[in-house]
């Protein structure tokens, strides 16, 4: 009973202490709010009333009066950029960059934010200028990464190569893959303009950076073929099997037509069938099927697809089998087979796409660089149905 009485006496004391603490917190909040510039409170009021332009003016005035509110600028600018209001974000960050009394660290941060604003707005020339000003600062790595992205968007491959060489993590596998593709882009441009010596130099540079570059071997074969060296072209394309066998489908048609050009069509078909046996691929099957059809007729092509379908059952393979079946079926059944093929073909359209390993982007066309995430060689020439069948 004495303990219960003691607690009854303690309760009022606890309430008194809580009341005093609340009073102290309230006074602290009031004191802090009074120390803020009036323009800061006006800016918040404009922002809540959906008057962002007036809010920006008020916040700029707040920063002029009290430099401690600079962080508010950064937060607000980032908010505007995320909402797509890049003009307002640019205005806020440009004001900070232009201030004479801003510290070096904050000015550098403001310049980086301004560069991101320009990049978001698609003003690549201004973004480039902003990030170039960051070279040699504490944000040099960030500047290099953004400059590399800008030059890739502009397809300025010489500058992209220059920036890539300055990256801190150069010599990594990712770096070698990107650098090789930059050189290959230059090689493709040179070939389009019939500057074959320049194209050869770019291919050699790509292979020097990344000896496993499939794309460089593909272009090297094209250059050999252009120089009337078909045997060398075939040798260059054959190397792709050791580099990355998934990309053999990209050169299968080249290998076959080059063998036909030098009157060695059976050897070419034999090579492609060996590739297909070791590395099953729907695109490779399509090329072998067409070659078999030309050389040995519909029955041999039908047998080839039927055997491959047993080994790797796919809808796309079934579609190809029905195509061959139309040619070999009796005349009275061809209409029925064609009807079945049309039905299957309507379903295969959904699985006849390429997919990026990095972001999952799907497309009917093959890309060396993913249009969605910008990754190089992240979309191997494999149809989505093949992914579903992979163990």
Binding site, by residue number, is: 356, 359, 370, 373
CA nearest 112: which of 133, 98, 95, 92?
133
Specify the DSSP class assigned to residue 313.
-
Query: What length does the chain have?
Result: 391
d(CA 85, CA 360) in angstroms, rounded, equals 29
d(CA 200, CA 230) in angstroms, rounded, equals 16
**Known binding-site residue numbers for Fe cation:** 356, 359, 370, 373
Q: Are 276 and 309 in contact (CB under 8 A)?
A: no
For residue 198, what are its two tokens? 């320049």
d(CA 390, CA 35) in angstroms, rounded, equals 65
Cβ-based neighbour number of residue 284 at 10 Å: 24
Q: What is the DSSP string of 19-45?
A: HHHHHHHHHHHHHHHHHS-HHHHHHHH
In angstroms and rounded to an integer, the radius of gyration of the C-alpha atoms of the chain is 33
Alpha-carbon torsion angle 176, 177, 182, 186, nearest 10: 100
CA quadruple 204, 207, 213, 217: dihedral sign: positive
Q: Are 57 and 88 in contact (CB under 8 A)?
A: no
* Continuous segment of H or E residues that includes residue 354: strand 354-355
For residue 86, what are its two tokens? 């890049």
Burial of 184 (0-12, 13-18, 19+ CB in 10 A): buried
């Amino acid at each position: 009973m004495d303990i219960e009485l003691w607690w009854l006496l303690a309760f009022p004391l606890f309430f008194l202490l809580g009341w005093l603490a609340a009073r102290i917190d309230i006074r602290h909040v009031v004191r802090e709010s009074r120390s803020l510039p009036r323009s800061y409170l006006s800016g918040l009021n404009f922002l809540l009333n959906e008057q962002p332009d007036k809010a920006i003016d008020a916040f700029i005035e707040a920063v002029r009066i009290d430099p401690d509110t600079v962080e508010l600028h950064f937060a607000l600018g980032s908010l505007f950029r995320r909402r797509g209001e890049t003009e307002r974000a640019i205005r806020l960050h440009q004001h900070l960059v232009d201030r004479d009394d801003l510290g070096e660290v904050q000015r550098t941060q403001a310049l980086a934010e301004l560069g991101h604003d320009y990049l978001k707005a698609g003003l690549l020339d201004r973004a480039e200028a902003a990030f170039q000003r960051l070279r040699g600062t504490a944000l040099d790595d960030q500047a290099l990464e953004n400059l590399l992205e800008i030059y890739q968007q502009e397809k300025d491959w010489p500058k992209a190569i220059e920036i890539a060489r300055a990256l801190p993590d150069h010599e990594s596998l990712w770096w070698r893959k990107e650098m090789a593709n930059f050189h290959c882009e230059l090689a493709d441009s040179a070939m389009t303009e019939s500057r074959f010596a320049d194209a050869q130099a770019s291919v050699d540079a790509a292979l020097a950076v990344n000896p496993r570059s499939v794309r460089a071997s593909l272009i090297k074969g094209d250059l050999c073929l252009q120089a009337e060296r078909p045997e060398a072209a075939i040798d260059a394309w054959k190397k792709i099997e050791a580099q990355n066998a998934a990309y053999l489908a990209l050169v299968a048609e080249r290998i076959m037509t080059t063998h036909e050009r030098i009157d060695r069509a059976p050897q070419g078909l034999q090579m492609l069938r060996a590739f297909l046996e070791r590395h099953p691929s729907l695109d490779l099957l399509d090329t072998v099927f067409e070659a078999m059809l030309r050389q040995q007729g519909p029955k041999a092509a039908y047998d080839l697809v039927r055997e491959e379908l047993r080994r790797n059952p796919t809808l796309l393979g079934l579609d190809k089998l029905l195509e061959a079946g139309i040619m070999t079926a009796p005349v009275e059944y061809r209409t029925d087979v064609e009807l079945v093929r049309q039905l299957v073909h309507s379903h295969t359209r959904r699985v006849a796409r390429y997919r990026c390993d990095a972001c999952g982007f799907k497309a009917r066309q093959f890309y060396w660089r993913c249009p969605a995430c910008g990754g190089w060689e992240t979309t191997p020439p494999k149809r989505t149905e093949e992914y579903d069948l992979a163990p």
